[in-house]
């Protein structure tokens, strides 16, 4: 655990993913953290509720309660939330009254972002300008064109915000606005990493599949929703409701403990970290040595977590003298879904707000069930899905090998019957 808690002794391997050095991190964080304020969180809350309602409507009407693909539904939802919060662009709805030209621009805008996000790993390996020319396969050329277009979009935002500096011309609370404003006057280049789009989607994919296997946890969450919603429809819920939803947060935290998107963080031993304690042994670690602490191993270590492989969201709930519920703060160096220390992920609250909004919107009036195949009992169906959830691989991020085999149903509380 030493290499996870001694932040100055074991440094991020920035050469691998082009991050900022620890001594320059305070300046970088000041700029990066600026957009993650309550105004943005309120926008994330509203947009997530809106897009979750749309997803629910499709599941319960168009597909009559059969969820065609949980993975694809969540991919569209998290993408749309990102598009709305980062660029103030939303997919066209039936109530959209914008001119046709504006609709086409927004559609192209979002399609470009979707293509870049879906191929982000490819674009990390191959520069987009290499994906051009007559000899490039059509599907790769499309990625190259999208990356070029996305660069133009970011430069357009840069131009708009630069022109608005020193005036009240920029009124939007876009995710990119404070980042652009933090640039030095003579700077024209900056890099934004939207990796959180994938990590939130994968966490929700695991969470919703696990909820279908554990109906008792759905009921546990529902009791909290009923307490704090006051019976109001979810289009009237304010962001002020979020911090009260401790159980919803606990469910997400427990998923992240057992199924963290990133199971390890590469580090490099500095000149101040010559030794590492391993049990009763003291190991000498030469400066410059690359180490890869297995974070998943720490998050499932019985020394820090009771019954570590049992999924029990209630472990995160504490009760005060009045019986009010609060959230457990894990021991330092035992929980890392957003990293830890001075370089903790600035998108932590963004992801929690988005995840909680999905849960409360889904479970206010509906329940998730495992679709029972021919010849199966309900218990056998749940066991099958649980096996799919546990069958994972680490292809950059932890994910199920066969998410398409997790076939679920969505039923209203009035019509749903637990087996």
Residue 14 near residue 305, CB atoms below 8 Å: no
Please count the other Cβ atoms lying within 10 Å of the Cβ belonging to residue 335: 20
> Angle CA(163)–CA(165)–CA(170) in degrees, nearest 5?
80
Q: Kindly tell me the sign of the dihedral angle through the C-alpha atoms of 300, 306, 311, 316.
A: negative
What is the spatial distance between Cα 237 and Cα 388, in angstroms, rounded to a whole number?
A: 35
The secondary structure element, H or E, covering residue 362 is helix 348-363
361 is in an annotated binding site: no
What is the spatial distance between Cα 189 and Cα 186, in angstroms, rounded to a whole number?
A: 10
What is the spatial distance between Cα 345 and Cα 331, in angstroms, rounded to a whole number?
A: 18
What is the spatial distance between Cα 1 and Cα 336, in angstroms, rounded to a whole number?
A: 11
What is the spatial distance between Cα 387 and Cα 382, in angstroms, rounded to a whole number?
A: 9
Assign 216 to helix, strand or coil.
helix
What is the spatial distance between Cα 323 and Cα 320, in angstroms, rounded to a whole number?
A: 5
* Backbone phi and psi for residue 68, each to the nearest 5 degrees, phi listed first: -65, -40
What is the spatial distance between Cα 31 and Cα 161, in angstroms, rounded to a whole number?
A: 15
Task: List the one residue out of 1, 17, 33 whose CA is nearest residue 342.
Answer: 33
Which residue is it, tokens 């964080």?
29
Q: Where is the binding site for heme, in residues?
A: 345
Which residues belong to the annotated binding site?
345
């Amino acid at each position: 655990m030493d290499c996870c808690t001694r932040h100055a002794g074991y440094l991020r391997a920035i050469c691998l993913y082009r991050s900022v050095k620890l001594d320059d991190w305070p300046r970088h964080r000041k700029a990066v953290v600026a957009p993650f304020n309550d105004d943005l969180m309120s926008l994330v809350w509203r947009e997530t509720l809106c897009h979750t309602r749309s997803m629910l409507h499709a599941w319960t009407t168009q597909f009559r309660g059969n969820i065609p693909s949980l993975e694809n539904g969540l991919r569209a939802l998290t993408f749309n939330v990102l598009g709305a919060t980062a660029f103030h662009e939303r997919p066209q709805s039936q109530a959209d009254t914008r001119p046709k030209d504006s609709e086409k621009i927004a559609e192209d805008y979002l399609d470009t972002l979707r293509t870049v996000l879906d191929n982000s790993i490819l674009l990390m390996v191959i520069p987009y300008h290499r994906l051009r020319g007559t000899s490039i396969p059509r599907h790769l050329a499309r990625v190259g064109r999208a990356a070029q277009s996305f660069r133009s979009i970011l430069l357009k935002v840069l131009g708009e915000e630069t022109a608005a500096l020193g005036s009240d011309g920029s009124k939007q609370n876009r995710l990119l606005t404070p980042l652009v404003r933090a640039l030095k006057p003579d700077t024209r280049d900056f890099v934004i990493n939207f990796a959180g789009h994938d990590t939130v989607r994968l966490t929700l994919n695991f969470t919703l599949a696990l909820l279908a296997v554990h109906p008792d946890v759905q009921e546990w969450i529902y009791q909290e929703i009923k307490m704090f919603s006051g019976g109001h429809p979810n289009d009237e819920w304010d962001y002020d409701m979020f911090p009260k939803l401790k159980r919803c947060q606990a469910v997400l935290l427990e998923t992240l403990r057992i199924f963290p998107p990133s199971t390890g963080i590469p580090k490099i031993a500095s000149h101040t970290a010559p030794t590492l304690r391993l049990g009763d042994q003291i190991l000498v670690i030469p400066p410059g040595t690359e180490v890869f602490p297995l974070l998943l191993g720490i998050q499932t270590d019985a020394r820090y977590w009771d019954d570590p492989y049992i999924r029990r969201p209630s472990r995160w709930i504490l009760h005060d003298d009045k019986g009010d519920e609060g959230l457990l703060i894990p021991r330092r160096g035992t929980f890392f879904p957003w990293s830890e220390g001075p370089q903790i992920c600035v998108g932590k609250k963004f992801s929690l707000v988005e995840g909680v909004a999905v849960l409360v919107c889904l479970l206010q009036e509906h329940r998730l069930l495992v679709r029972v195949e021919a010849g199966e009992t309900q218990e056998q169906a749940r066991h099958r899905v649980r096996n799919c959830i546990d069958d994972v691989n680490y292809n950059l991020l932890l994910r199920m090998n066969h998410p398409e085999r997790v076939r679920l149903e969505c039923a209203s509380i009035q019509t749903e019957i637990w087996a």
